[in-house]
Structure 1
C-alpha cells in the first residue's frame, strides 16, 4: 500500500527560523502558494484520503491541497507536531535547542522525547493498512513528525536522523506493508 507524506506550507516561524512545535503558527502567503502547488502535484497519485495534524497550519495546507482531488480529510491527533516544551519559539540556532535535540531519549524541557513521538507515529502507521485497506493515504503533518515517519521505513543512524528534513509541501512516497509488520 502506498502512503504519501507532506509537511505543511511555510509558516511565519519557519521564516524567522524559530522552533515551532505545538504553537498554532499560521501559514505565510508563500505557504498558501506552496499548498496550491502541492494540490497540482497530488493529482493523479491515486490518493483516496488525507490524515491531518490538528494544528491549523497542517489543516489549511490539507484544505488547499485537496482543491482538485476532493478526498475525505480526517484530523489525526497523533500527527500533531513534536512538543518542544519551553524551547518552542526560541531560535533554531539556540545552543539549548541543539543540546536537547541530540538526546533522543530525554524529554525536551516541558515537552516530549523523540521516543514518545515515535511511539504515537509508529502506532498510527501500524494501523493504517487495517483501517484503510486498499487506500492511498496522504499524511499532512510537520517536520519532526516527518523525520520519525522516515525512520519507520528507513534504517538511519542518529546523525542522519538529525539532518533529515522534508521541505514545506514536499511530497514523499513510501510503501507500507499491508500485512503484519
Structure 2
C-alpha cells in the first residue's frame, strides 16, 4: 500500500495580509513554523521515503521544519506548485474585488466558469494535479511519501480523488496551514481518503 501524506505549507506573511500568492512567495511566519514542527512531532514515527515539494520557498521551509533532524530526500517539482494567478499575485483580495468583482466571484464560486486574465484556469490546474498524482503512483508502489504543497492544489487533488466536477472544487474540508490529508493507494490504483484537512496537531503547539 502506498500512503501519500499531503500537507499545505505553513502560514506566510501574505496569508496574514490576505494577499493572493500563487507562484509568488512570502516568508513563512513563526506561527507557521511552529505548526510545521508540531506536525513533524505528530508524524515522527512514520518512515518517509521521500518528500516532494513545489518550487516555492514556503513549501521548502515547511518541509524542513516537519523533517526536523531526519535526513529525508527532498524533491522539488513544479507539478506541485500553487495555481498560477497572474497579475493577482501579491494583491489583497479586497483590491481585486474592487477592480474585478465578477472574475473574483467566479474564482471562488464558479470555478468552471472562471477565465483568468493571466495564469492558470482551474481546468489547467486539474490537468497538472492529475499528472502529479499519476507521477507519484508510478514512482512509488508502496511506502510513505510526504508532499508539501498549497491549498488550491490540494483541494484539486481531493476533487480528483472524489471523481467530482470542477463545480465541486471548494466543497471539501478547509485546507488550513500545515493541515494533513492522507491518501491510501492500493496495488490496483484505487485511492481512499483516510484524512482530509486534519489540523489536530496544531493543538500540540503549547507543549512544544
Matched, 1:168 2:164: no
The residue aligned with 1:92 is 93
Please give the alpha-carbon distance, in whole angstroms, between the structure 1 residues aligned to 2:161 and 2:186: 10
Please give the alpha-carbon distance, in whole angstroms, between the structure 2 residues aligned to 1:61 and 1:178: 30
The residue aligned with 1:11 is 12
The residue aligned with 1:129 is 137
The residue aligned with 1:141 is 149
1:98 CA drift (Å): 2.4
User: Would you identify which runs of 4 or more consecutive aligned residues in structure 1 move more than 3 Å?
Assistant: 155-160, 177-181
Which has the larger strand fraction? 2
For structure 1, which segment, 75-84 or 154-163, has the greater mean C-alpha deviation from structure 2 after superposition? 154-163
- Count of residues paired in the alignment: 181
Summarize deviations over 1:53-103 as a string: whole Å, max 9, x none.
110000100111111443211111100110011222333352342233423
Distance change (3 Å), C-alpha of 1:113 and 1:131: same
The residue matched to 2:14 in structure 1 has which SS?
helix
The residue aligned with 2:112 is 104
Distance change (3 Å), C-alpha of 1:127 and 1:177: farther
The residue aligned with 2:194 is none
- Kept in 1: contact 2:7–2:179 (CA 8 A): yes
2:161 to 145, 153, 159: 153
1:34 CA drift (Å): 1.2
Structure 1: give runs of 5+ residues left out of the alignment.
none
The residue aligned with 1:80 is 81
- Backbone CA RMSD of aligned residues: 2.1
1:180 CA drift (Å): 5.1
The residue aligned with 1:22 is 23
- Considering only CA atoms, is the larger Rg found in Structure 1 or Structure 2? 2
